[in-house]
Amino acid sequence: MPIVDTFKSEIIAGLRETPKRIASKFFYDERGSQLFEAITQLPEYYLTRTEISILREHLPAMAERIGTGATIIEFGTGAGVKTKMLLEAVHNPRAYIPIDISREQLTHATTKLAERFPNLEIHPIFGDYISEISLPIPSDAGKNVIFFPGSTVGNFTPDEAIQFLRKAAALIGPDGSLLIGFDRVKDIRVLEAAYNDAQGITAEFNRNLIRRIGREFGVAISPEDFDHLAFFNSEESRIEMHLVSGDSRTLKLDDEEITFAQGEHIVTEYSYKYTPETFAAILTASGFSVQDRWCDENNYFEVCYATVDHK
Ligand SMILES: C[S@@+](CC[C@H](N)C(=O)[O-])C[C@H]1O[C@@H](n2cnc3c(N)ncnc32)[C@H](O)[C@@H]1O
């Protein structure tokens, strides 16, 4: 599963598009992962604590759905906080397969989980879950369950999400299922505050991409050269994060010259917000049937359990 070596080529390709784009998976170098953890603690960032509250309340029901002896495959483990909660609830899991593009996060999270669950087989995969994934253990050795929390699915466009989830369904086989968290459409002020926190941590997280580009390409460019912008695009039902160039500048990235106009935007993240109906439609189009759904008292966030269709 090649990943790190595509950083430079993907950055150059994205910066040659109009509008310029950087894939959100590149946020997660060591510093980016630490900043993301800080974001999850912010008062404005309701997503993490809301999803955790849903898990805390409904994990017994989720574990019942998952059943005994399942292999849990996680897309984007992060710090593994929700994973620990899930693995404590699931009945006698057969194995745990975390996949993450951040090597530091993956090492740190799996070390802690291995200490907490010494008898559990853990097979970490360092890589990009968008590229081809093959399971390190036979996929027919019991039920495979994908855990995909954090509303990370919202970083895909709806069409990309369907393509991705179809591949996921093929990976886990006909007995497979999916436990997935997504963020619901809500008051625009709540949405926009979550990506524009008062302490500026999200801005630092966004601008850390510039620091990473400077480091990996060996070019003199500073995060302060770009402004953070995040807003809700209601037509598309998504938060958009952009970086805005303060000045016009030309960067030499390996053999490519990339020119930025003053005020030019780079799109760095989409975070789609769904209603229960629009998200159920994504799951149906991806070959999953929704079996159960849980949400918080404010209707901010939803966790869905869906099984692979047998049609
Ligand atoms: C929004 S965070 C969510 C972390 C955690 N699952 C949670 O719910 O708090 C996204 C995580 O997915 C990882 N990630 C993002 N894009 C990825 C990709 N294409 N392949 C593998 N991991 C990815 C990041 O490194 C990060 O740990």
**pLDDT, tens digit (0-9, with 9 covering 90-100), for 171-229:** 999 999 999 999 999 999 999 999 999 999 999 999 999 999 999 999 999 999 999 99
Domain spanning 46-184+274-308, CATH class? alpha beta
CA of 121 to the centre of ligand 1 (A): 21
pLDDT value of residue 19 = 96
State the closest ligand 1 atom to the C-alpha of 40, by its place in the atom list counted from 1: 9
CA of 152 to the centre of ligand 1 (A): 7
Report whether pLDDT(140) > 90. no
List, in order, residues 6 or more apart from 233 with CB less than 8 Å away. Answer: 239, 240
What percent of the chain stands above pLDDT 70? Answer: 98
| Strand-pair partners of 149 | none
Report whether pLDDT(238) > 90. yes
Q: Whose CA is nearest to atom 3 of ligand 1?
A: 150
State the closest ligand 1 atom to the C-alpha of 24, by its place in the atom list counted from 1: 16
CA 264 – CA 245 distance, rounded (Å): 5
Provide the terminal-to-terminal Cα distance of the chain, rounded to the nearest Å.
Answer: 30
CA of 190 to the centre of ligand 1 (A): 23
Residues 34-39 have a mean pLDDT of 97
CA of 199 to the centre of ligand 1 (A): 23
The CATH 3.40.50.150 portion of the chain extends over 46-184+274-308
DSSP 8-state class, residue 29:
S
Report whether pLDDT(1) > 60. no
**In whole angstroms, how far apart are CA 285 and each of 162, 220, 302?**
6, 45, 19
Query: Residue 102: helix, strand or coil by DSSP?
Result: coil
Report whether pLDDT(12) > 80. yes
pLDDT value of residue 2 = 42
Position 135 confidence tier, pLDDT thresholds 50, 70, 90? confident
Query: Residue 180: helix, strand or coil by DSSP?
Result: strand
Q: Whose CA is nearest to atom 19 of ligand 1?
A: 128
DSSP 8-state class, residue 274:
B
What percent of the chain stands above pLDDT 90? Answer: 93
> Which residue ranges have their beta carbon within 6 Å of ligand 1?
25, 28, 36, 48, 76-78, 82, 99-102, 105, 128-130, 149-150, 152
Over the stretch 56-111, which tens digit does the pLDDT of each residue have? 999 999 999 999 999 999 999 999 999 999 999 999 999 999 999 999 999 999 99
pLDDT value of residue 258 = 96
Looking at every residue in the chain, the average pLDDT score rounds to 95
Token pair in block for residue 170: 């093929």
CA of 16 to the centre of ligand 1 (A): 25
Residues 238-260 have a mean pLDDT of 96
Token pair in block for residue 279: 């998200």
Token pair in block for residue 66: 């998952």
- Of 247, 291, 250, 245, the residue nearest 268 (C-alpha): 245
A 10 A CB-CB count for 79 gives 17
Token pair in block for residue 190: 């709540």
| Strand-pair partners of 181 | 303
CA of 102 to the centre of ligand 1 (A): 8
